[in-house]
């Protein structure tokens, strides 16, 4: 779908990284980017976010480029989205809706689809107005997957009923997960969860550790559904390793809530492997974003190891680093090149013993 991207520079120091990430999100959703505009503002305009003058310029660019849809790299209020769509006479998809759309595209399991649909409905419930009438001729495409346009015809009561039903189904899934965790606990199985920023190489590491074949690709949110495997690690015995969804800056709150059942694999872990893309110029900011989400879901007090992945691209050698207390703090590996994995396994054994409670959780690794 021919797409105009509007990027807003609000003076933040990490603006360019944010803008580049949004382009990756757009391409991941299948956008054909035909034009882009940068709007610089000290603060958002209440009516149009980018202001009426910039909107007029953007409309001309969209018309000349033949753009069919406008992607906005900031979250929009319902009023801002309505005003922008009236001006463009095209569908406008903000950052939140784009992330939800990618999740709808990638989710494969029944649980994953339920979680995505719940988040989409919660997002749409604030935007069900006559604002959609001028878009009825447009079908499908970015921002309309999953519940999509069918939900636009529902009233709030029907959406409320659907949300309650989805929550009940997810609650049943959550109870099933709790039962499974209790079963693992009774069998003294260690549990480890792989966590990290999206596209840090978690799924590739998961595959290397467990000899599994979880989907791994060089794109944001390549893997959405939790994958769990048992693996034998000398010194630790049977270990349960969980591969879950990666994090991203400004993850929609509705999505964090909807994925809480899946993220509980992380909350209940005995050890987190925080996978970092060692070659990324934004790795420190990405580490901070992951830590923020871990705090949001109550997992910030779980023992963790920073796993610097992609060392072959960053020019590092495999090694294990300890902090001033002699505790393992960082492990440097290449999941793709299978470098440093023995050191990581040793770190898992040592950290698992320190964590105690005879259970071990490997952090989810996702490409």
Distance from C-alpha of 263 to C-alpha of 210, rounded to nearest angstrom: 20
Distance from C-alpha of 99 to C-alpha of 15, rounded to nearest angstrom: 18
In terms of C-beta density within 10 A (0-12 exposed, 13-18 middle, 19 or more buried), how is residue 125 classed? middle
pLDDT digits (tens, 9 = 90+) for 164-212: 888 888 788 777 766 765 665 555 677 899 999 988 999 899 999 988 6
pLDDT digits (tens, 9 = 90+) for 249-298: 777 676 666 666 556 667 778 899 999 999 998 899 899 988 988 887 78
Residue 325: C-alpha distances to residues 214, 321, 352 (Å): 36, 11, 17
pLDDT digits (tens, 9 = 90+) for 20-40: 889 988 988 889 999 999 999
Q: Please name every residue paired with 276 in a beta bridge, in sequence order, or none if there are none.
A: 308
Residues contributing to the annotated binding site for GTP: 196-203, 221-225, 243-246, 309-312, 334-336
- The topology (CATH level 3) of 2-152 is Rossmann fold (3.40.50)
pTM of the full structure? 0.73
Domain ranges in the chain are: 2-152, 187-362
Q: 68 in helix, strand or coil?
A: coil
pLDDT digits (tens, 9 = 90+) for 309-325: 999 999 999 999 999 99
Distance from C-alpha of 309 to C-alpha of 200, rounded to nearest angstrom: 7
pLDDT digits (tens, 9 = 90+) for 215-254: 555 555 555 556 788 889 988 888 989 887 777 777 767 6
Rounded to the nearest 10 degrees, how much is the dihedral formed by the CA atoms of 25, 1, 116, 124? Answer: 110
- The topology (CATH level 3) of 187-362 is Rossmann fold (3.40.50)
pLDDT digits (tens, 9 = 90+) for 200-209: 999 899 999 9
Residues contributing to the annotated binding site: 196-203, 221-225, 243-246, 309-312, 334-336
Mean pLDDT of 97-111: 78
CB atoms within 10 A of CB 358: 14
Q: Tell me if domain 2-152 and domain 187-362 are identical in fold.
A: yes
Residues contributing to the annotated binding site for Mg(2+): 203, 223
């Amino acid at each position: 779908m021919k797409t105009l991207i509007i990027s807003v520079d609000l003076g933040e120091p990490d603006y360019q990284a944010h803008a580049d990430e949004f382009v990756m999100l757009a391409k991941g959703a299948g956008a054909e980017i035909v034009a882009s505009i940068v709007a610089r503002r000290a603060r958002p305009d209440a009516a149009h976010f980018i202001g009426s003058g910039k909107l007029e310029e953007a409309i001309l660019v969209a018309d000349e480029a033949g753009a069919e849809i406008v992607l906005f790299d900031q979250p929009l209020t319902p009023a801002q989205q309505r005003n922008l769509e009236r001006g463009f006479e095209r569908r406008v998809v903000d950052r939140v809706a784009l992330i939800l759309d990618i999740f709808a595209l990638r989710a494969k399991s029944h649980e994953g689809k339920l979680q995505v649909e719940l988040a989409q409905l919660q997002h749409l419930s604030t935007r069900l107005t006559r604002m959609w009438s001028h878009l009825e001729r447009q079908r499908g495409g970015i921002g309309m997957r999953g519940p999509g346009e069918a939900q636009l015809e529902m009233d709030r009561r029907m959406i409320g009923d659907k949300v309650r039903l989805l929550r009940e189904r997810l609650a049943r899934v959550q109870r099933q997960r709790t039962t499974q965790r209790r079963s693992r606990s009774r069998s003294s199985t260690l549990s480890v969860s792989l966590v990290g920023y999206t596209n840090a190489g978690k799924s590739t590491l998961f595959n290397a550790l467990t000899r599994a074949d979880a989907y791994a690709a060089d794109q944001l949110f390549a893997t959405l559904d939790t994958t769990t495997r048992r693996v034998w690690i000398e010194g630790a015995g049977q270990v349960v390793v969980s591969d879950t969804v990666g994090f991203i800056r400004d993850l929609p709150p509705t999505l964090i809530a909807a994925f809480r059942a899946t993220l509980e694999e992380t909350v209940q872990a005995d050890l987190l492997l925080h996978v970092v893309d060692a070659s990324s110029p934004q790795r420190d900011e990405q580490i901070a974003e992951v830590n923020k989400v871990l705090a949001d879901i109550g997992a910030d007090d779980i023992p963790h190891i920073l796993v610097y992945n992609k060392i072959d691209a960053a020019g590092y050698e495999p090694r294990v680093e300890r902090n001033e207390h002699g505790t393992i703090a960082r492990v440097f590996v290449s999941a793709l090149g299978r470098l440093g994995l023995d050191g990581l396994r040793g770190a898992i054994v040592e950290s698992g013993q320190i964590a105690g409670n005879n259970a071990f959780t490997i952090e989810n690794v996702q490409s």
